[in-house]
Amino acid sequence: MPPKRILILGSTGSIGTQTLDVIRHHADDFEIVGLAAGSSIETLADQAREFGVGALGLACADAAGRLHEVSSTATVFAGPDGLLEMVSATSPDLVVGAISGFDGLSSTIAALEAGIDVALANKEPLVAAGQFVIEAARRGGAEVIPIDSELSAIFQCLRGERREDIARMLLTASGGPFAKLPPEQRRAVTAQQALAHPTWRMGRKVTIDSATLANKGFEMFEVRWLFDVSFDRIQVVVHHQSIIHSLVEFRDRSVIAQMGRPDMRVPIQFALTYPERMDADVPGLDLAQIGSLTFAEPDTAGFPCLRLAMEAGRAGGGYPAVLVGADQAAVDLFLDDRIGFTDIPRLVGAALDDYDGTCPSSQGDVVTVNNWGQTYVTDHA
Minimum Å gap between C-beta 225 and Mg ion is 15
Minimum Å gap between C-beta 173 and Mg ion is 9
CA dihedral defined by 127, 130, 132, 134, rounded to 10 degrees? Answer: 150
User: Which is nearer to Mg ion, 106 or 149 (by Cβ)?
Assistant: 149
User: Which is nearer to Mg ion, 3 or 262 (by Cβ)?
Assistant: 262
Minimum Å gap between C-beta 14 and Mg ion is 12
State the residue number with the nearest CB to Mg ion: 148
Instruction: Give the contact letters, 50-89, x = binds to Mg ion (CB under 5 A), - = no.
Output: ----------------------------------------
User: Which is nearer to Mg ion, 148 or 332 (by Cβ)?
Assistant: 148
Nearest to 298 by CA among 290, 289, 309, 288: 309
Using CB under 5 A as the binding rule, whether residue 124 contacts Mg ion is answered as: no
Instruction: Give the contact letters, 134-153, x = binds to Mg ion (CB under 5 A), - = no.
Output: --------------xxx---
Minimum Å gap between C-beta 152 and Mg ion is 9
User: Which is nearer to Mg ion, 124 or 150 (by Cβ)?
Assistant: 150
Rule CB under 5 A: which of 148-207 touch Mg ion? 148-150
Minimum Å gap between C-beta 31 and Mg ion is 28
Nearest to 156 by CA among 250, 275, 16: 275
Minimum Å gap between C-beta 149 and Mg ion is 5
User: Which is nearer to Mg ion, 56 or 323 (by Cβ)?
Assistant: 323
User: Which is nearer to Mg ion, 276 or 295 (by Cβ)?
Assistant: 295
Binding residues for Mg ion (CB under 5 A): 148-150
